[in-house]
């Protein structure tokens, strides 16, 4: 049974960096048959895909246009996890952040969610 466990702070100051980690059990971040993504949810934007990391003989990343200048998603094979960094945050980045696995054309496993508030 695949599980994703998120960790990271729930409060970030404006202009600083949001950092979250997603630990994977029951699968490998290096698998060739899935991608590992970050999605956020807010009342104003609904469910919004942010980006993904995946391995297909080499590592790839894709990012949403709306955040691509500020976002980094990194795999960590030694800990079997992946991370999200979002720089220069503003109150508009306040949301619940989810890590999720995309397998066979659906997000089949989700982390528990982290409510991140951007406030001084």
Partner 1 sequence: DIMMTQSPLSLPVTPGEPASISCRSSQSLLHSDGNNYLAWYLQKPGKSPQFLIHLGSNRASGVPDRFSGGGSGTEFTLKISRVEAEDVGVYYCMQALQAPFTFGPGTKVDIK
- In the complex, the residues that contact partner 1 under the rule CB under 8 A are 46-49, 62, 64, 98, 102, 104-113
Q: CB nearer to partner 1: give 13 or 45.
A: 45
Report the nearest approach of partner 1 to the CB of residue 108 (Å).
5
CA-only gyration radius of the chain, Å? 14
Classified as helix, coil or strand, 24 is: strand
Smallest distance, Å, CB 86 to partner 1? 16
State the minimum distance, in angstroms, from the CB of residue 98 to partner 1: 6
CA 96/CA 88 separation, integer angstroms = 17
Distance (Å, whole) CA 69 – CA 119: 21
Cβ distance to partner 1 smaller for residue 16 or 66:
66
Closer CB to partner 1, 46 or 58, in the complex? 46
Q: How many CB atoms lie within 10 A of CB 56?
A: 10
């Amino acid at each position: 049974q695949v599980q994703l466990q998120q960790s990271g702070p729930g409060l970030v100051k404006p202009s600083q960096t949001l950092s979250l980690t997603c630990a994977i059990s029951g699968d490998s971040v290096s698998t060739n048959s899935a991608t590992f993504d970050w999605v956020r949810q807010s009342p104003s934007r609904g469910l919004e895909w942010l980006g993904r990391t995946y391995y297909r003989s080499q590592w790839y990343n894709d990012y949403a246009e709306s955040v691509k200048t500020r976002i980094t998603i990194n795999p960590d094979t030694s800990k079997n996890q992946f991370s999200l960094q979002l720089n220069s945050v503003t109150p508009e980045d306040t949301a619940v952040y989810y890590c999720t696995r995309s397998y066979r054309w659906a997000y089949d496993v989700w982390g528990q969610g982290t409510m991140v508030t951007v406030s001084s």
